Amino acid sequence: MSSEYLIEVEDLKQYFPIKTGFFKTTPLKAVDGVTFQIKPGETLGLVGESGCGKTTVGRSILRLYEPTSGTVKFRGEEITAKNMAEHRKNMQMVFQDPYSSLNPRMTVEDIIGEPLDVHKLYTNKAERREKILGLMELVGLNAEHATRYAHEFSGGQRQRIGIARALAVNPQFIVCDEAVSALDVSIQAQVINMFEDLQEKLGVAYLFIAHDLLVVRHISNRIAVMYLGKIVEIGDADEVYDHPIHPYTESLLSAVPIPDPVIAKQSKRIVLTGDVPSPMRMPSGCPFRTRCRYATAKCEEICPSLEDKGNGHMVACHNR
């Protein structure tokens, strides 16, 4: 089955049952009907405030969480619990916290070599070591680091170890879950540049989850904006950044710091009123209507679906 897309996510839903009484559970709608596609070698940035479901999307695609409903396709083939083992090599993840995602009892060599062991990707010990040293070199680590433990490294170096582990099985798609948010700004730049170099060399596609919009714009071909488990806007990175349509995207972008003090003074912050509703008690209609300055009676009744506003710039809003 061939497809122009590497990854196709269709109406993905992830509900977690939460105990709300003695024998009562209420579904927490972490992801509620998300649809998008990623082409080979492309980077899709996924942004939104904390708790909007970004990480859950990434984990559900890789079936670290079993999705409640919806489909995920890899090169046109639907991924199910039965065939996920075959696709594990093609799809990997770089986790947010480089401190907790590495086993403190394992040396760097063993951490990076573990995927090689699991998938039996070498014929002898010498080939295994050669592959591990090659991966370490690829992500900017020295050969003498191989026998050391994760706690002996800085945050940036630990994240590089995590990236080398993800690359060990030569994947075609990597979910980068806030992969630079725990790092210093100077280290962030190094790691992001490394992601870009690896994409050029290996042609790998990324789902880049972050809440720093400047980082996302720099690395992404397209950007998807999430709010309360739904995608409210998706399009070309520069188009979304320079011409945001959805009121939530406008507000997010107005909060991005501007380095030029003159322009910064003239720019206006769009401050949202109210709090984010609970995913267990979602408002009727549009999830954003309780904080939106354009909200009308229609927003209360009907949840808007994504509509193309031109050039693949999709927005879910009745009034824009």
Query: Each residue's pLDDT tens digit in the chain (320 positions)?
Result: 457 899 999 999 999 999 888 888 989 999 999 999 999 999 999 999 888 899 999 999 999 999 999 999 999 999 988 888 888 899 999 998 888 889 999 999 999 999 999 998 899 999 999 999 999 999 989 999 999 998 999 888 999 999 999 999 999 999 999 888 878 888 888 889 999 999 999 999 999 999 888 889 999 999 999 999 999 999 999 999 999 999 999 998 888 777 777 776 777 778 787 778 888 888 889 999 999 888 899 999 999 999 998 888 999 999 88
pLDDT of residue 1: 47
d(CA 180, CA 184): 8
Q: Rounded to an integer, what distance in angstroms lies between the CA atom of residue 254 and that of residue 267?
A: 8
pTM above 0.75, yes or no: yes
Residue 12: per-residue pLDDT: 96
Instruction: Pick 7-90+171-315's CATH classification: 3.90.650.10, 2.40.10.10, 3.40.50.300, 3.40.50.970.
Output: 3.40.50.300
